[in-house]
Amino acid sequence: MFSWLRRGPSRPKRSERKAVTEELALWASLRRGVEIYVEPKTAVTETSVVLVAHDGEFTRRRIASPKAAREFAHDNSLPIYDATVVGYPQRMRDYSRRQNILRERAQRDALGDSPDR
């Protein structure tokens, strides 16, 4: 009753949590040097994890709780950190910067605005 009055997103169902866990495990298994950074719940977002690979590639997903993040890290033999304590690795920012440069370069090439021409 009055579900429209509820604030914020509803808690993910068990099947959704399992799907996220499997997706993250697959993502981590396809990359090397993966570390987990736990982001706390805020007024705007739920608890989430950021998985960061050796080259800075990363993915972010909502997770049920910090405890669930620790269990996932243990089950997958991955190091885990509290993002509010240690911050994010520089390689993550470098990766985002590289991706932006590549995206801009591709847009210029598509428009024929390449400096090589």
What pLDDT digit, counting tens, does each position of 9-50 carry?
555 577 787 888 999 999 999 999 999 999 999 999 999 999
**Per-domain residue ranges for the chain?**
11-88
Query: pTM of the full predicted structure?
Result: 0.79
User: Measured between alpha carbons, how far is 92 from 52 in angstroms, rounded to an integer?
Assistant: 7
List residues bridging with 51 in a β-sheet.
36, 59
pLDDT at 1 over 60: no
Among residues 30, 31, 111, 20, the alpha carbon closest in space to that of 68 is found at 20
What's the angle, vertex CA 15, arms to CA 13 and CA 21, rounded to 5? 105
What pLDDT digit, counting tens, does each position of 63-116 carry?
999 999 999 999 999 999 999 999 999 999 999 999 999 999 999 999 987 665
Among residues 44, 95, 52, the alpha carbon closest in space to that of 73 is found at 52
Residue-by-residue DSSP string for 57-115: -EEEEE-S-HHHHHHHHHHTT--EEEHHHH---HHHHHHHHHHHHHHHHHHHHHHT--T
